[in-house]
Structure 1
Amino acid sequence: MTFHYRFGPADLMRCRFSISPRWETQEAVRVLLDPRRHAYHLPWLRQIRAAAAGLDLRPLWLLMPRAGHNPDFLSPPPAGPSVTFEEELARVRAADPQAAEDDLRRSLVCTPGALESEAGQRMLADPARAVQELADLMEAAWHALVAPHWPRLRALLEADILFHSRRLAAGGLEALFDGLHPDLRWSGDTLTIDRRNHHDRSLDGQGLLLMPSAFVWPEVVGGYDPPWQPTLAYPARGIGALWTASAGPTPRALARLLGRARADVLCALSDPASTTALAHRLGLAPSTVSSHLKALQGAGLLVASRHGHQILYERTPLAIALTAGPTAGA
């Protein structure tokens, strides 16, 4: 079985990337439902164990079938390239109860026994209340599981978007989809996703929203029925190193050349990152990191590019060569 997204001429110009903190929260909750499948996230699972124990995630898990429909009203595609969790949650809370009831029923029937369960019947009996209670639970999950780690997660997702935006600019959609996920195939005007169920949709000028995700690994997820914008969530690059410490000590010679603090900042930029993300990664004040970044950029060791409201810094070829030098500890 397959998913098909069929592109028209207008859709080729309307593909965009976005980051969704609400999506990452939903998928973090899904990881807790089956943590054995997510070895990359074991360090995170250990860190959030106590916080997760204080949450009753069963109502959300009931709406996460292994195969089948997930309620669209709980995860509307982000309206812009850089939205806050609060903005996304407001859209969830504004869901139409009648549409939510149909969404809930379609999801519950995909899990044996869920429709007849007490929790399932309670949702369907009062969908307006169910919307608000599920939103409350999603908000609690955000604060407990994802928000403390959001600077690190956002840096990973922003770096992924920068990488794939360049592939798109250099080679078009064929080059983009060729490197996005092994389950994707681009042929003619159609993107095909290998999946257990069938979905065939013409984009009709809406284009395709592309969302990198840390927690969706190893899957690629396509979906959303009209009127939602067609969306594809895929595993972000670099998640294998997401929860690891920085890669080794700063080269001694580089520390002598630049000073320890600036050398540490340069070595921490293994992937493009914002000032805030680097400050979180290094345990420094954002103002301090900003000063070092400007100095390194002025010396020709960094370039900056804008993504939404964020400015991402990355190393130039000269900086890459310098940071790859001898790595004996200082």
Structure 2
Amino acid sequence: MPVYMRFGSDDLLRCRFAVSPVFETHEAIRTLRRTERHGYHRPWLRRLGDAAAGLDLAPLWIFMPHTGNGYTPDFLGGPPQAAYTSVAEGLARLRATDPALARAEMTLSFSTMPGAAESPLGRKLLDDPAAAIELMADVTERAWHALVEPFWPRVHDLLEADIDYRARQLASAGLGELFALLHNRLSYEDGLLTVRTKNDYYYERDLAGDGLLLMPSAFAWPDVVTGFQPPWQPTVIYPARGVGTLWAESGPEAAQALGRLLGAGRAAVLAALDEPASTSALARRLGLAPSSVSAHLTVLKGAGLLTSHRERHRVLYERTPLGGALAAGG
């Protein structure tokens, strides 16, 4: 079902980026049980070992159906108010949720999941929303320590690198092009942002001066997430670029193996694309003839390791997730 967000002139001036460790924790919890998300995250699942075994995640999983359909209460991962909110600040904000708001959002969530409200856990949460908030905050905190905190430096670096890259896209191509490049389920035309989600939840909102928050996520991959209702700021969560390299461990052996696989020239071109670059820029960087670089780019793109897009008078190449994983030795 599509989600529609109507922009006014003020909203265009109030688009911003943010990172939320609490939201990432909830998406990591989803990833544990939704096999379609495993993909790039299988190394993370292996490294967890038994860390998740002792967690009772039922108070959160009840709002996270296997199918992805339905509505998850917004207060669980409410959009942060600052560009970066620490996990302590995010948990404090979660614990400060108005119980009346929590009950209303839980009721709405259960209305999209038949039988959930009548289950023993569902009745317990609805009967005492203040206690439910504390319970879900406690579970979130334990999940953070077990699932995300040990890996947060590399996850945070990935998210910050994505924001830096998107800021350059915004400066060079404008907001409409930025939306198109964030995810293939996003489109923007005549002040209307359309988000084609996978679930059955329909939503339409006039931003009315609230602007839009954009949040990159490692664990939301491959989905795009949106639909936040008042009083929350409208938000779109999208997969951060480079997720394919997140868990890879590179080294000299990996670089040598890549050279044997692709040939020295193509391996060098692929490795040099840490940031999107043009043929001429790569030729200068690598000391190769532009014609040689162009030939390597054509082969790498044909193999699905690169994509290209035009930016004004230049064609820029960048690694696909598969190309990034190969370059990183994953």
- For structure 2, the residue ranges without an aligned partner over 5 or more in a row are 257-270, 288-292, 294-326
1:142 aligns with 144
> In the alignment, is the contact (CA less than 8 A) between 2:22 and 2:90 conserved in 1?
yes
1:83-102 to 2 correspondence within 5 Å?
83-102=85-104
1:18 aligns with 18
| Distance in 2, Cα, partners of 1:85 & 1:226 | 23
2:215 aligns with 211
Change (3 A) 1:44 1:189: same
1:127 aligns with 129
Aligned-residue offset at 1:249:
5.1
| Distance in 2, Cα, partners of 1:89 & 1:189 | 34
Change (3 A) 1:319 1:78: farther
Letter in 1 for 2:211: G
Q: Give the superposed CA RMSD.
A: 2.5
Q: 2:242 is matched with which residue: 238, 262, 267?
A: 238
- % identical equivalent positions: 49
If the length of structure 2 is used for normalisation, what is the TM-score?
0.76
Letter in 1 for 2:217: S
Between 1:1-10 and 1:65-74, the stretch displaced more is 65-74
C-alpha offsets along residues 87-108 of structure 1, whole Å, 9 cap, x if unaligned? 0110000011111111111112
> In the alignment, is the contact (CA less than 8 A) between 1:3 and 1:192 conserved in 2?
yes
Aligned-residue offset at 1:250:
9.4
> In the alignment, is the contact (CA less than 8 A) between 1:33 and 1:61 conserved in 2?
no
The count of residues paired between Structure 1 and Structure 2 equals: 267
> In the alignment, is the contact (CA less than 8 A) between 2:59 and 2:135 conserved in 1?
no
| Distance in 2, Cα, partners of 1:251 & 1:103 | 50
C-alpha offsets along residues 218-249 of structure 1, whole Å, 9 cap, x if unaligned? 11011211111000000000111111112645
> In the alignment, is the contact (CA less than 8 A) between 1:24 and 1:213 conserved in 2?
yes
1:58-69 to 2 correspondence within 5 Å?
58-65=58-65, 66-69=68-71
Letter in 1 for 2:153: P
1:287 aligns with none
Q: 2:117 is matched with which residue: 115, 118, 128?
A: 115
| Distance in 2, Cα, partners of 1:77 & 1:53 | 29
C-alpha offsets along residues 89-136 of structure 1, whole Å, 9 cap, x if unaligned? 100000111111111111123223211110110001111101001000
Aligned-residue offset at 1:67:
1.1
- For structure 1, the residue ranges without an aligned partner over 5 or more in a row are 253-266, 273-315
Aligned-residue offset at 1:48:
1.1
Letter in 2 for 1:214: A
> In the alignment, is the contact (CA less than 8 A) between 1:159 and 1:271 conserved in 2?
no
1:32 aligns with 32
2:262 aligns with none
1:145-184 to 2 correspondence within 5 Å?
145-184=147-186
1:56 aligns with 56
1:223 aligns with 227
1:3 aligned onto 2:3: yes
> In the alignment, is the contact (CA less than 8 A) between 1:153 and 1:214 conserved in 2?
yes
1:279 aligns with none
